Amino acid sequence: MHARNTGWPRGRIGWVIGSVALLGLGVLFGLIMQNVWLGLTVAVIISIGWLIAYESWRGRTPGLDDPFDDGARL
């Protein structure tokens, strides 16, 4: 029996919790620096990096690594 497709990808909860935590830390950083917008901007930038790192860690693209590809070939 297949899992029901709810439209919400499995494993995305970890990313959402991490993003909310980063957003909270960004606001806290902004309050300490007396500039909430700076904190939110930093939190959004770090959250984008968090998304890229989390999706990469999950390994949804097996076989993507090519040890002979140095990036110079088109």
C-alpha dihedral, 16 to 22 to 23 to 25, nearest 10°: 150
Residue pair 58/9 in contact by the 8 Å Cβ criterion: no
Structural domain of residue 19, as residue ranges?
Answer: 15-57
Q: Which residue has the higher pLDDT, 10 or 3?
A: 10
d(CA 8, CA 16): 12
The model's confidence at residue 29, banded by pLDDT at 50, 70 and 90, is confident
The model's confidence at residue 31, banded by pLDDT at 50, 70 and 90, is confident
Residue 19 domain-assigned (yes or no): yes
Domain count along the chain: 1
Residue 74 domain-assigned (yes or no): no
* Residue located via tokens 């070939």: 73
pLDDT above 70 coverage of the chain, percent: 62
Residue 6 domain-assigned (yes or no): no
Q: How many CB atoms lie within 10 A of CB 42?
A: 16
Report the predicted TM-score, pTM, of the whole model to 2 decimal places: 0.58
Residue pair 46/22 in contact by the 8 Å Cβ criterion: yes
55: pLDDT strictly greater than 60: yes
